[in-house]
Amino acid sequence: MAFSDEQLERYSRHLILRGVGVAGQKRLLAASVLIVGAGGLGSPVALYLAAAGVGRIGIVDGDTVDLSNLQRQIIHTTANVGEPKAESAAASIRAINPDVTVETYDEPVDAGNIADLIARYDLVIDATDNFSAKFLINDACVLAGRPFIHAGVVGFAGQVMTVVPGHGPCYRCIFGDMPAAGEVPTCREAGVLGAVVGVIGSLEATEALKLIIGVGEPLVGRMLTVDALTMNIRRVPLPDHVPDCPVCGDRPTITTLDPDNYIQPACAI
């Protein structure tokens, strides 16, 4: 494909960047990414992927914009309160970059629809706020062989890891079974500093762009943790293989997505 004059100007800083260049920008324009959650994490992910020229972006979120979201969910504005988050996010993406095709799914993600959703995209972004959704995304992506970027934030701290099935551990390898309801607070219960969510979401976007372009070292087999109060940033090594992981281990017991195992609907941070 040949770049238009507008694209040559729009992506000029990529085109001159060693490691991206013409080949990398073409990969971005040909790529597709599904973002699960159009909230605090999904906002910077969607905005940066759109600005970078990722050709097709899916936004799935069954919620509407609430005034309490605007402290951190920067893809929405006060004028969007009451609108479906997926549609509000799509409008912001289209305003940034008309090159991007945006597909919206104004519905909650669950065991019944996630396999069909992720099958349409090259890469998945976990931008959700509860363990049920995170385990669902992990299990569905591992079963489908689809790479995804995980992130979690609460209070002043966050974490990011990249899962490429067959290459390093999955989310369930590290965290085992999901905790009992109420055992670990969500940001809705404990609060969250909005700027921290922006930092972690931007790191997710960076990981996604690296994977698409094929540059650098993704966080496969590693977890990046950020404590914003101390600015302590650590890259924690993870095991290469967990034989007893129930979804990607030597004798997996999770081979289908049972709705009874994922009882909490996916919601955005």
**pLDDT one-digit tens code per residue, 137-161:** 999 999 999 999 999 999 999 999 9
pLDDT in tens, 251-261: 999 999 999 99
All structural domains of the chain, each given as residue ranges with its CATH number in brackets, are: 18-261 (3.40.50.720)
Q: Average model confidence (pLDDT) for the chain?
A: 95
> For a pLDDT cut of 70, what percent of the chain falls above it?
99
Among 74-78, 99-103, 167-171, 180-184, the minimum mean pLDDT is found in 180-184
> What whole-number distance in Å separates Cα of residue 256 and Cα of residue 263?
15
Q: Which residues are annotated as a binding site?
A: 13, 40, 61, 72, 85, 109, 170, 173, 245, 248
Q: How confident is the model at residue 189 (pLDDT cuts 50, 70, 90)?
A: confident
> What whole-number distance in Å separates Cα of residue 231 and Cα of residue 234?
10
Q: Which residues are annotated as a binding site for Zn(2+)?
A: 170, 173, 245, 248
Report the catalytic residues: 187
Residue 180 has pLDDT above 80, yes or no: no
> Taking residues 68-80, what's their average pLDDT?
97
State pTM to two decimals.
0.97
Q: Which residues are annotated as a binding site for ATP?
A: 13, 40, 61, 72, 85, 109
